[in-house]
């Protein structure tokens, strides 16, 4: 498996994986985990996106483009791996599991 790709999971489709760009995944993962609190109820996804955008490298995410897609992909992967959780609130609220 080439180093520039990483396999991610989707909490909504157990057993299915996708291969995505490793650098973008890792940058978004770091930004998301930095932005999310470690206690429920956490942050709404829109608030998490707003908080993490300044943390992203402009070379990988020029003007925040594609950040929404990457946020969702990383969110679903980290949920599948048990690193973050959804609080029982609507709209979706996310928080880290420490």
Q: Packing angle between helix 67-80 and helix 45-52, nearest 10 degrees?
A: 120
State the average pLDDT over residues 67-87. 97
Predicted pLDDT at 97: 96
For residue 62, pLDDT over 70 is answered with yes
Residue 93, judged by CB atoms within 10 A of its CB (0-12, 13-18, 19+), counts as: buried
pLDDT (tens digit per residue) in 4-54: 999 999 999 999 999 999 999 999 999 999 999 999 999 999 999 999 999
């Amino acid at each position: 498996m080439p180093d520039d790709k990483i396999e991610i999971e989707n909490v909504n489709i157990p057993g299915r994986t996708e291969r995505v760009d490793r650098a973008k995944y890792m940058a978004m993962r770091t930004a998301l985990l930095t932005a999310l609190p470690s206690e429920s109820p956490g942050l709404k996804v829109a608030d998490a996106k707003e908080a993490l955008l300044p943390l992203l490298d402009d070379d990988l995410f020029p003007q925040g483009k594609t950040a929404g897609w990457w946020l969702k992909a990383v969110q679903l992967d980290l949920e599948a791996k048990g690193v973050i959780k959804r609080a029982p609130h609507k709209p979706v609220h996310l928080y880290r599991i420490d």
